[in-house]
Structure formats: structure tokens, C-alpha cells
Structure 1
Amino acid sequence: MEWIFITLASLLAGFVDAIVGGGGLVMVPALFAAFPSAAPATLLGTNKAAGVWGTAMATWQYSRRVQMRWSALLPAAAAGFAGSFAGAWAVTVVSPDFLRRLLPLVLLAVLAYTLAKKDMGRHHAPRFHGSAETVAACLVGLAIGFYDGFFGPGTGSFFVFLFVRWLGYDFLNASASAKLLNTATNVAAIALFAAKGHVWWHFAVTLAVANVVGSLIGTHMALKHGAGFVRGIFIVVVGALILKTGYDAFLR
């Protein structure tokens, strides 16, 4: 029953994550509910090992239909990988607990700004070009990559928001770009978890297949319905993240 439960959760996580990020919001609580006595690091490592395949598949699917700005995004993905690895190392020497109370407030500000700016992310008008865009994308990759390795919740949403707000992408292009960077940060995290033996590979394989199926469905929906649909899902996911992180920070 646990296997069926977490496989269905992985399917839903892949669907949500492919559209706007936030698959961990579904998958991580499901793993902790199914295996309450397991080491948290093992469940987090298993989640990453499964989810990276859906994220990579979404990147490939988007790249076939969306004009990816590879000259900026590939260096940004490398920066994200380096940032994530550095963040994962940092968490071994510095506690991330101070972020628990800050995170829901930051997410609330992101949500309020997105709701206030009703036209934000509806039109694709990149603000930077050439080397300036590469530098801006690399700064996003490095900063949010570090956050992903150090703490993690809301990584996909932060990638999307910064690509929309700072780089001038619409929500569809921002989501496509975020997938590439998120794949890189996840690979860095998996390398660390796997090296320390914190991945249940026998579960990860099944979960990865389900995650890819969910990712294919989610990508199809996003490409079919466009930036407005992705914006709506973004608002829902950020709202759910606020509730989850707020509960963890102030009530639990």
C-alpha cells in the first residue's frame, strides 16, 4: 500500500512540478507519511532521485516548443549546480533553522506582488540580451541553487518568479527555463545524498517512472494553455507553500 500511495503522489508531484515547480510540496509529505520512522535525509534523497527525471523530461518537452535562450541558460544551470553543492555543504556547518520563519513571509511577498501586478509574466519581453542576460541568469542560478542545497522549499517558484520579474520572461518561458536550472540543482543534491547512502534506489526507480508520466501530462497542459494558465498554477502553488511553511514555522 505504501508503494501505491507514494507512486500516485509522485505522479501528481510530476504534474505540478512540470507546470510551475513545487513537486516537493506533494512528494515530501507523502514520503514522510508513508515512512515515518525513516531517516529524513533518506526520504529527501529518494525524493530528489525520483523527481529529477520528471524535471529533466519537462525541460526536454519545453525545449521542443519554447524558444529556450541556451546561451544564457546553460551557464546559469552550471552556476545552479555549483550553488546547490555549496549550499548542501553549508548546511553541514550552519543550521538553516533561521530560514523557517522567514520563508513564509518571503513567499507571501512574492504572492502579493504577483497578484498586484496582474499583467506580470503574461508577455515575453526579455529585459537583457547577450552577456548581460547570461550574467543575470547565472546570478539567479547561483543564488537559488545555493538556497536549494541549503534549505529547499519553494525553489522552483523562486526560479520562476525571478525569471519573470527580473529577466522579463512570461510565465511559460520562465517555467521552461526554471526546469533546466532545477534539474542541475537536483543533480548536485542527488550526488551528495547518494555519496552518503541516503537514496532508496528500489523506490526511486518506480517513483521516477510515475514522475515522468506526471511531468509529460503537466508539460502538455502548460504548453496547450500558455502563460496565463501557468500564472494561475503558480499562484495556487505559492499559496500552498505559504500555508505549509507557515504551519511548519509557527504552529508545529
Structure 2
Amino acid sequence: MEFVLTPAIALLLFATGTAAGFVDSIAGGGGLVALPMLLSVGMPPQIALGTNKLQGSFGTFSAALNYIQKGEVTLKEAAVGIAATFAGAGTGAWTIQHMEGGFLKGLIPILLLGVLIYTLASPDFGDAQRRPKLPAPLFYTLCGLLLGFYDGFFGPGTGSFWTTAMVLFLGFSMTRAAGYTRVMNFTSNIVALSVFIALGNVVWTAGLVMAAGQIIGARTGSSLAIKNGSKLIKPIFVTVVFLTTARLVYQSYF
């Protein structure tokens, strides 16, 4: 089925991009909204994945910029993480072109389930800034390489892992963790997007229509997250982790 961008589809994709950007800027998981829509309008899977990375990159950039402007993120502090994530994502994106990533489909839902249980069992999880358990440079180097590789190689749940790790090991509040997560997500998205572009697996017209919606949704969602903090972020975060886990379990075992 050849993809054709009609006015009706363009409007639908714009609305989807707005919704995906809103959710993703708060708790990640925008792909749960965007990717099924791209597939439903007739895109082959690889092209849908590439187009999703294009539109999603605009959303993560918009949200990250808002968190930076509102003082929740300092780029100087994130520099080591950005560099490590870039290297990890590049390695992951290269690796997935040469081997099968299916073995991760059974492991990742288990890890995400652990994140969900821990978050629900910790009523004060991410409510306030706490003392870090690891030096920031060491944390960003290890997690940047590991989670950057994972995002380039496979992807689902990356934002959830970043947010949880920042709260646990750096003592971040959920709001601050959400901001730094968007910066790291944008970094690995750009690397993965470059690979999809090189392979010709991007529909630019559709991606840019969704990107316009992403910018609006991400700006709105991140502003609400900054204003309301963990009381808004945590329930959306839990919902996104649950839905991501359910989707991966279904894809892996059914």
C-alpha cells in the first residue's frame, strides 16, 4: 500500500503529533501514540519507524528547550551525558543493522515491570531533590553509553529508564529528571534518525506535519510538568510505563 498524504490524513497526523508531544514531554512514551497512527495510514514498518523518529525529534527538542529555559536543565551539567548517549546510540544503531534485536523483546518488559512496581511501592518517589548516590560524571557516562546504545538498538521504554535512573542515582525530583531525560532522548533520537535518513526510510511531508503538532504539544506538556511537578508527572509516568510494558508483552508472547 503506497502512502499518500491527503488533507484529511495531514490533519489527523497533526493532531496525533500534538497528543504524542504532550505525553512524551511529561513522561515519555509518545511513540505509543504516534507509531500506531503512522502504521494505520499505510506506511510500511521501517518507514513508519523512521518517520516517527523525525517527528519525535522535534517534540523532544521543543520540550528540552522549555526545560532549559525554565531553569530545570543545565546543558553544562548534561554535557557528559549528551556525549556518552551520542556514542552509545551510534553504536546501537550500527549494531542493529548487523544483528537481530528480538532477544530484547522478552527482557525489556520484565525490567519495565520492575520500574512500575518500584514506583508504585515508593509513595515519595521523585517528589523532592535528594542526595545523589553516584557522582554525576560517572552516572552520565555509564547510563549514557548503556541507554544510548539501547535506544539506538531497540528503543521502547528508554525515557522511563532514564527518568527512574536519575531519580534513584542522582536524587533528582521527577520534574528535573523529566527535563534531563528529554535532553538525552533528543540526543539518541537524532543519531537514530540519521540512520533512517541514510537508508531512505523517512516520509518528510508526513513527519514535518506531525512535527508541527509535536512542537505545540511538547511545549504545552513540559510547561504543565514544570508548573505541577510530580503530582502531574508521576501518574502519567506510571500509565506510560504500564502501557509500554503491556505492548511489549503482547508483541513478545502473543
Determine if the TM-score, normalized by the shorter chain, exceeds 0.5: yes
The match for 1:211 is: 214
Q: Does 1:17 align with 2:20?
A: no
Q: Cα RMSD over matched residues?
A: 1.4
Contact residue 6 and residue 34 of structure 1 kept, 8 A: no
TM-score (norm 2): 0.93
Q: Pick from 56, 66, 76: which aligns with 2:81?
A: 76
Comparing 38-47 and 203-212, the one that deviates more = 38-47
Length, aligned pairs only: 247
SS of the equivalent of 1:96 reads: coil
Contact residue 58 and residue 215 of structure 1 kept, 8 A: yes
Give the distance between the partners of 1:147 and 1:162, measured in 2 at CA: 14
Comparing 59-68 and 105-114, the one that deviates more = 59-68
Q: Does 1:158 align with 2:158?
A: no
Supply the AA of the counterpart residue of 2:90: F
SS of the equivalent of 2:229 reads: helix
Closer, same or farther in 2 for the Cα pair 1:18/1:238, shift >3 Å?
Answer: same
Q: Pick from 146, 152, 174: which aligns with 1:143?
A: 146
Q: In the TM superposition, what are the counterparts of 1:1-252 in structure 2 within 5 Å?
A: 1-35=8-42, 38-127=43-132, 132-251=135-254
Question: Structure 2 stretches of 5 or more lacking a match?
Answer: 1-7
Contact residue 11 and residue 214 of structure 1 kept, 8 A: yes
Supply the AA of the counterpart residue of 2:89: S
SS of the equivalent of 1:181 reads: helix
Structure 1 position 128, deviation (Å): 5.6
Structure 1 position 5, deviation (Å): 2.2
Contact residue 163 and residue 174 of structure 2 kept, 8 A: yes
Structure 1 position 6, deviation (Å): 2.1
Contact residue 89 and residue 148 of structure 2 kept, 8 A: yes
SS of the equivalent of 2:99 reads: coil
Give the distance between the partners of 2:24 and 2:238, measured in 1 at CA: 13
Contact residue 13 and residue 206 of structure 2 kept, 8 A: no
Give the distance between the partners of 2:92 and 2:99, measured in 1 at CA: 10
Q: Name the % identity.
A: 35
- CA displacement 1:147-166 (0-9 Å, x = unmatched): 00110111111111111112
Contact residue 72 and residue 138 of structure 1 kept, 8 A: no
Contact residue 149 and residue 189 of structure 1 kept, 8 A: yes
Question: Structure 1 stretches of 5 or more lacking a match?
Answer: none
Give the distance between the partners of 2:46 and 2:131, measured in 1 at CA: 38
Structure 1 position 39, deviation (Å): 3.0
